[in-house]
Amino acid sequence: MMGMHSNSASARSFPVQRLLAAAAFVLVSIVSQRSRALPAQPTAKGQSSITVTIPSDAKDGAVTIHRINRTYDAIERPAREMLLLDQAVETKGSPTYGYSSAHVLVKALIVSSKGTRPAFTIDARGSLVTRSDDDSLLIVTDPGCCGSKDTHAVYSLTNGRRLFFTGGQGTPDLLTLDASSGRLYAGVHSSGSHRDNDVYGSPVVKGSSALSISLASQTERIDSLLLTVAPSTSSAKPGVIRWSQVRDAEGMRRHQINKGETAVLEISIPSSMMIRIPVRDGRFLLESTSVPPGCRLQRVDPN
Give the Cα separation of 237 and 269 in Å (integer): 6
Find, among 206, 209, 192, the residue nearest to 270 by Cα: 209
Q: Report the residue count for the chain.
A: 303
Query: What is the pLDDT tens value at each position of the chain, 303 positions in all?
Result: 333 433 443 343 444 444 444 443 334 443 443 333 434 443 445 677 777 777 766 565 578 888 899 999 999 998 889 999 999 999 988 777 777 889 999 999 999 999 999 999 999 999 999 999 999 999 999 987 776 788 999 999 999 999 999 988 778 888 898 888 889 999 999 888 888 888 887 666 555 688 899 999 999 999 999 988 776 555 556 667 788 756 555 555 556 788 888 888 988 876 567 889 999 888 999 999 988 888 889 999 887
- What is residue 235's predicted lDDT score, i.e. its pLDDT? 56
Q: Which helix (H) or strand (E) holds 22?
A: helix 16-22
Using DSSP bridges, classify how beta strands 283-284 and 273-280 pair: parallel, antiparallel or unpaired. antiparallel
Query: CA-based angle 221:85:93, to the nearest 5?
Result: 90
Find, among 247, 251, 243, the residue nearest to 276 by Cα: 243
**φ, ψ of residue 288 in degrees (nearest 5):** -105, 10
Residue extents of the structural domains in the chain:
1-124, 126-303
Those residues with Cβ within 8 angstroms of residue 254's Cβ, 6 or more apart along the chain or in another chain:
246, 247, 248
Flag whether the pTM goes above 0.75.
yes
* Residue 165 and residue 150 in contact, taking contact as beta carbons nearer than 8 Å: no
Those residues with Cβ within 8 angstroms of residue 205's Cβ, 6 or more apart along the chain or in another chain:
228
Helix (H, G, I), strand (E, B) or coil at 218: coil
Cα distances (angstroms) measured from residue 23 to each of 16, 51, 70, 301, 302 = 11, 17, 6, 41, 37
* Residue 195 and residue 263 in contact, taking contact as beta carbons nearer than 8 Å: no
Q: Is 185 left (phi over 0), alpha (psi -120 to 50) or beta?
A: beta
Give the Cα separation of 184 and 136 in Å (integer): 11
Give the Cα separation of 67 and 83 in Å (integer): 26
